[in-house]
Structure 1
Amino acid sequence: MTDHHAAATADAAATAAATANAAGHLSAARAADAADPLAAFRTRFAGIDDGTSDVVAYLDGNSLGRPTRAGIDRIQRFLVEGWGGRLIRGWDEQWMELPFTIGDSLADTVLGAAHGQAFIGDSTTVLLYKLARAAVDARPGRSEIVIDTDNFPTDRYVVDGIARERGLTLRWIEADTEAGVTPEQVAEAVGPQTALVLLSHVSYRSGFLADVPAITRIAHDAGALVLWDLCHSAGSVPMKLDAWGVDLAVGCTYKYLNGGPGSPAFGYVRADLQQELTQPIQGWMGVADVFRMGPEFEPAAGVRRFVSGTPAIVGMLAMQDTIAMIAECGIEAVRAKSVALTEFAISLSDDLLSPLGVTVASPRDPERRGGHVTVNHPAMQDVTALLWERDVIPDFRDPNGLRIGLSPLSTSFEETYRGVAAIRDALRDLAHD
């Protein structure tokens, strides 16, 4: 056999093997979808099987969730009937309490918290600032804030600004970008000078799932308060904030909660801390009697004191329908599918992507992994750009990471397969250019 024929035969064999593997993976994906108890929820999202979208695979639900059909209807109805029909009367009838009504629903279904501790407020950045500033001011005489080097940029920037404002020092935990912060690292970092520890429940880069109860206990033993960033876990990973003794938390609502681009974040302040903490952005909505318009700021008795300005009512409408879906199926079922989806994505990566030099940069232990998987390769920035042109939508995180974000209520196993297969195809095509 000539070298030419040998090469052609090898290529044909490789193609046949890849086709067989693809058929096996696709069959497995369809079988998983057929057995999925949450499969019917997928039909409740706009842009899926309704002819309105050309997207082949949406792998970015951990960054911006799809809109729900009910959310679209709710907003349209509000514009006509709520805003248009009730006008300013809406404030007295419902809107004034909506941040706390939704906050209590979120506490029930997602946060594992009693009522009166969660609220919908400002952007994530503003809420992080307010609660972090309140925390360090509640620990006078302590001079350090503990945070990790791989936390989300906003978290790092916010505490850097607070440290400069209050004459404090940042104590950095060197985090593994393919893992996350461990209790042992926190124990080494905290001490008698620690005022606040700020960490993420799920790492935005690797998907590492932190041990919240253990880390919270360690910080409390040192006399510090803890502020948890729940942006990449809220709506995907079960929580027990009250049982874990969490002091403070902030999370965004446009990822797994499908609130829409820029929908306002939520805050959590443990009940026994609400009277102790003084929030730094005093506004008219945080006072005991909103319409008294008094000369001095008199904070409300409960969690309302952490609200500053007029609530973004339109921005908080859509998330209610996802919260209702989570209440319907249960957050534990959401988590079970999340684990199954990420396990499938890792298996696909091992079979389809690792031969091309791709490595998995997320924890393989599902107990230590949130709802997304990051895969690394030097070409991932170019791969992401090419995939977007092909209507496959992951996202890129510097330096070499492509994130596969899998939203349990809206993502199917077949969609996951098609997305990972498209990553393989893009890598091959770029290698041949």
Structure 2
Amino acid sequence: ARLERKRHAWSAPVLRSAREQAGGIDSAIWTGKLAGALLGQMYGRNQMDHEITMSKHWEMWRKSLPVSIQLPPTDWTDVEVYSSEIRELTTEYEFVRKLNNKVFDAVALLTKLYDEISSDELAKLETLRDFPGRGVAGSPVDGAEAAEPGGVAWALNIVSSRAFDERDQGHYLAPGIDLFNHDYGEAACARLDAEIGTALHDPYHGQVTVVADRDIDAGEEIKFTYNRLPSEVLLIYYGFVPEQNPYDDVVLFTDLVEALEFVYGGYLSPGDRQKAISYVLDTASGDISMEGTMIAKKTEEDFHRLKISNEGVDGRLIQALQISRVMMDKEESVGELLVKRITQKLRDFSTTLEQDESELASVEAGSRKEAILRLRVSKKRILLMAKMAIQGALQAPKPPPQGAAKAKSSSKPSAEEEDEDYEEVFLD
């Protein structure tokens, strides 16, 4: 039957582990914790909590889980990941692998403790329900069994690829919701309505609903957008790279220090680096606001991941470059600095966009190589489109002031004038 706009397509309860407070725990660490909980509850020697087995939703969900799911942190080789030549992908890959290894080590230790404890002590602990991890003890941590149902690698990948993260409500799993596919724009005909606030404190309350964003015809697949994430994050945590991702981006500078040293043209000593950081933060913060109240001082964290995207140039990036070039008395405008940096990023790749597009057309569909090529193509397109747009803005003649007589001049516009033109076009 036709599903009308705002009607519910699916509703599901929230797993009790969503009680982790929003913002209180890193999502990757939470993945490890919930993977352990799932192993203990679904495959453990002694189930501590019967929420999953008591619920029809969870039993249906358990039967729907894939026997095998491969994600880069657990299944790809370093060579495969590093062939992307994309720093953000390799950094996230290394980070998640380190966390996964900690989970593997913890489960191995719990297994050893569980196996070494006496039967009398074990019976007492099971009665008191105070042996941490007794449900996960014994789960395979290496070899082929680790990637099969009940294995630690399998559980980590299930949670990573099927959990949702609401910034204001926390991390959660909802049975059945993860079976919907991902898409963007008009093809994403539904949205998530998560009411999990009570689940943060009460294990048996909280609901997530898929709501139609428009009328959906009978037989039409219902999809929604998982999250507004760059493509490398989707690959690491979900295992796919979209053909067209409107939320993809390219990080030009990972932090303020990298931007400062780029504008300076070399390494800054620790003393000079700290002075430059303080100057940029003080200038960006300003002294007082329009209303006369103090503005919260900017921190280095406010200048993390300075990027360009399909939507334009990050306003923080423009601000950081403008303040830095003035402080260091550089003649290059913000636009010229951006073109220079984008050119550097393109040269970091060993292939051109045309070469990647040609190879992508012939590579095996669904292969790891296809995912890497899609990722590279997306990043290069963003870089090249931004470069062309910025160069066009810099070369465009500046209109004369309103009411002023037109005067012929062969002089080059000042860097400040070029920056003003640029910001009008690209500041998002």
Q: Do the two structures share a fold, i.e. TM-score over 0.5?
A: no
> TM bucket by the smaller chain?
under 0.3
- Structure of larger gyration radius: 2
Q: When the two structures are superposed, what TM-score results if normalisation uses the length of structure 1?
A: 0.27
Q: When the two structures are superposed, what TM-score results if normalisation uses the length of structure 2?
A: 0.27
